[in-house]
Amino acid sequence: MDKETLLSCRDVSLGYEGHTVWEHLTFSVHSGEYLCIVGENGSGKSTLLKSLLGLLPPLKGVIQRSDTAGAVGYLPQQTQAQRDFPATVSEVVLSGFLSAHGRRFFYSAAEKSQALMHMGKLGILELKDRCYRELSGGQQQRVLLARALCATQKMLLLDEPVSGLDPKVTAEMYALIQKLNYEDGITVVMISHDLNAALQYASHILHIGDTVFFGTKAAYLNEFPQAWQKGGNDGDL
Ligand code: ADP
């Protein structure tokens, strides 16, 4: 059976008024895939992300999201003010349901139990009554991942989810994301500058920069066999 197309960009131009960042960008994401969008700083990852989230309309072409894709669970990069957010872990996780609420200001029993389930799955259940701002960076990222899961059944959009984490916590975070993809079939779209990790975990790579590539990881390695060595040092592009 063909895999369902959740997201597709066909010959899309992206950018800002008077400044085109991307032309002729074509790629798609199917159910169950794990796409890493990699590129150097300034290559246009944030611009693409804003467009995928529907915050920045394409200059040309359309970005299509299938009706069945549902809401995207988004894990943003955090500002310092967000790291200091004075709420409990449960409150932060539950807020993942808010965008689907419309005018409703309370959480249903089903939502509360789903939130607990996501916290359990991500190993943060015992932190549920703790204050979010008192947690370590790695714990905070798990909380944000649980929050993103509350918003989606299908697709996570993760913006540099391991940024600022030490190597051990980074590996744990990548393992959790891989588990959500493998075991729960959640489609993952991750923005990253860590090519090494992208080559380790992703099924597909979209490389934006001087060279543009979109395809499977195997096709990427076939075209850029030196990529492993490059990524092998510290992984950064
Ligand atoms: P990355 O996330 O890969 O570091 P960005 O998407 O932030 O790259 O930037 C890509 C290009 O778009 C850069 O040349 C940047 O200067 C430009 N750019 C980013 N934001 C804006 C904006 N709001 N208005 C105009 N140009 C922008």
Q: Annotate 99-123 with DSSP letters as a single string.
A: GGTTT--S--HHHHHHHHHHHHHTT
* Best mutation site among 19, 38, 49 for ligand 1 pocket (most ligand atoms within 8 Å of CB): 19
List pLDDT tens digits, range 81-119. 778 888 999 999 999 998 777 777 789 999 999 999 999
List pLDDT tens digits, range 138-167. 999 999 999 999 998 899 999 999 998 999
State in Å, rounded, how far the first CA of the chain is from the last one.
36
Long-range contacts: 105-112, Cβ < 8 Å, 24+?
111/150
Residue 82 Cα to ligand 1 middle (Å): 22
- Give the C-alpha separation, 7 to 154, whole Å: 12
- Give the C-alpha separation, 205 to 189, whole Å: 10
- Give the C-alpha separation, 9 to 58, whole Å: 10
Residue 62 Cα to ligand 1 middle (Å): 20
- Give the C-alpha separation, 76 to 160, whole Å: 8
What pLDDT is stored for residue 165 in this prediction? Answer: 92
Please name the residue whose Cα sits nearest to atom 25 of ligand 1: 16
Pairing of strands 19-30, 5-16: antiparallel
For residue 40, the ligand 1 atom closest to its alpha carbon is 3
Pocket of ligand 1 (CB under 6 A): 16, 19, 21, 39, 41-47
For residue 18, the ligand 1 atom closest to its alpha carbon is 25
Q: How far is CA 76 from the centre of its chain?
A: 8
What pLDDT is stored for residue 219 in this prediction? Answer: 96
- Positions in the chain short of pLDDT 70: 1-2, 69, 228-237
What pLDDT is stored for residue 70 in this prediction? Answer: 73
What pLDDT is stored for residue 233 in this prediction? Answer: 47
Q: Give the predicted TM-score (pTM) of the model.
A: 0.91
Closest CA to 96 of 107, 109, 86: 107
Residue 13 CB: number of other CB atoms within 10 A? Answer: 15
Residue 207 Cα to ligand 1 middle (Å): 16
Residue 47 Cα to ligand 1 middle (Å): 6
What pLDDT is stored for residue 237 in this prediction? Answer: 62
Q: If 0-12 CB within 10 Å is exposed, 13-18 middle and 19+ buried, where does residue 198 land?
A: buried
